[in-house]
Amino acid sequence: MVGNGAKNQQDAKALTLVRAYAERYQTKGLTAEHPRLVVAMMRDLAGWPVRDASGGVNIAHFSTEEAANAALMTLRREARTKGMQPNGTDRYMLVRDLPKSLQAALDNVGYGKKDIEVKARETFNPVAMGGQGTRGFVAACKMDDTGTFEVSWGSWGGENAFKRTVEGMDEDVAIPPDVAFIQGSEGGGHPTLARVYVSPRAMNPAMLTAGAEVTPKEAKILAIFQQLKSSYRAEEFDRLQEKDGIEGSRARKEATDREIESLVERGFLSRNKAGAVSITTAGRNAAAKNYY
């Protein structure tokens, strides 16, 4: 019979393995709050084999299923506590402020938004994932104004979801300071989606400063604007104000209206002539990682 001390030691070692797996995914642009990673970890804990530098991670590493589930909850709690920006330098930037080579590449793939997420990572995984009615792409761009870039497209429909975009590439590649990668997809009835990956050494020093000054509650309001459709926001605003101790639906709405107006005045939100409110690039950078 295995004693409690041995079980605790076994579970602690298993948690270390799963945490290492989670951190490996964070370097690829995923976070422990990201649904894809949470699902991946749950699959591992249910016995799906996963290989990394530490070996396979699955439920067999834990003394009991309850211990495995507790480990998953620990990882999710740690993710919320840390904010899970591994390099602390992920930002949204206006496309017009990017080097001309990146602008040219984004125009080439049909990216039409005014801003884009820029993630600082030491390495990059050059895989383009397709799905039903979509195809992925990866663009390599010089970090200059020469307009130099090269785009590699995946197949429509994700015929082979694990085929590398770059021929012969089956591992992460280091990101040089003078090169940026754009990864995204097109099709599926949606606008082109994309993210930019750069070396931390290439980040503009102005982007490495502390984030904008908003209260934790204001950051949650911004997250609601960023992550939810307008039809779902009112309920979350009401819940947020209720957590803040404001009683009565009318009082909670008035409090929300005041805080939204303050965020508009400070440039984190914008209001058009019709009165519709949307989040700005500054607001994206100041938003909390989740709204709940």
Tens digit of pLDDT for each residue in 165-216? 444 444 678 888 899 999 988 888 889 999 999 988 776 554 444 455 789 8
Shared domain check, 144 and 126: yes
Distance CA 107, CA 182 (A): 12
Mean pLDDT of the chain: 75
Task: Say whether both 107 and 187 belong to one domain.
Answer: yes
Boundary residue ending a domain (208, 241, 263): 208
Is the same domain home to 193 and 273? no
Check whether 255 has a pLDDT greater than 60.
Answer: yes
Distance CA 213, CA 232 (A): 26
197 and 222 belong to one structural domain: no
pLDDT band at 114 (very low <50, low <70, confident <90, very high): very high
* Chosen domain end from 21, 56, 82: 82
Domain that holds residue 41: 4-82
Residue 37 covered by a domain = yes
Whats the size of the chain, residue-wise?
292
In this prediction, residue 172 carries a pLDDT of 76
Output Rg (C-alpha) for the chain, integer angstroms: 22
Do residue 149 and residue 113 come from a single domain? yes
Half-sphere exposure of 191 (CA within 13 A, CB side): 8
Share of the chain above pLDDT 90, in %: 33
Which CATH number belongs to the domain containing residue 268 in this structure? 1.10.10
Domain boundary among 163, 180, 208: 208
- On whether both 180 and 77 belong to a single domain, the answer is no
Check if the beta carbon of residue 18 is closer than 8 Å to that of residue 41.
Answer: yes
Displacement of CA 221 from its chain's centroid (Å): 18
In a domain, 282, yes or no: yes
Q: How far is CA 13 from CA 3, 7, 89, in A?
A: 16, 10, 31
Q: Which residues contact 182 (CB under 8 A, 6 or more apart)?
A: 102, 105, 106, 109, 137, 138, 139, 141, 194, 195, 196, 197
Would 291 be classed as within a structural domain?
no
Question: 98 and 158, same structural domain?
Answer: yes
Considering the domain architecture, whether residues 109 and 129 belong to the same structural domain is answered as yes
Q: Could you tell me if 202 and 137 lie in one domain?
A: yes
Cβ-contact 108, 184 below 8 angstroms: no
Q: How far apart are CA 31 and CA 38, in angstroms?
A: 9
Cα–Cα distance for residue pair 116/29, rounded to 1 Å: 14
Q: Does residue 292 form part of some domain?
A: no
Please state, for a pLDDT cut of 70, what percent of the chain lies above it. Answer: 62
Are 260 and 189 in a shared domain? no
In a domain, 105, yes or no: yes
Question: Does one domain contain both 30 and 124?
Answer: no
Residue 122: predicted pLDDT: 85
- Among 93-97, 220-224, 270-274, the range scoring the smallest mean pLDDT is 93-97
How many domains are contained in the chain?
Answer: 3
Q: How confident is the model at residue 154 (pLDDT cuts 50, 70, 90)?
A: confident
- Looking at the domain assignment, is residue 187 inside a domain? yes
Answer with the residue of higher pLDDT: 192 or 15: 192
Same domain, 156 and 100: yes
CA distance 146 to 143: 9
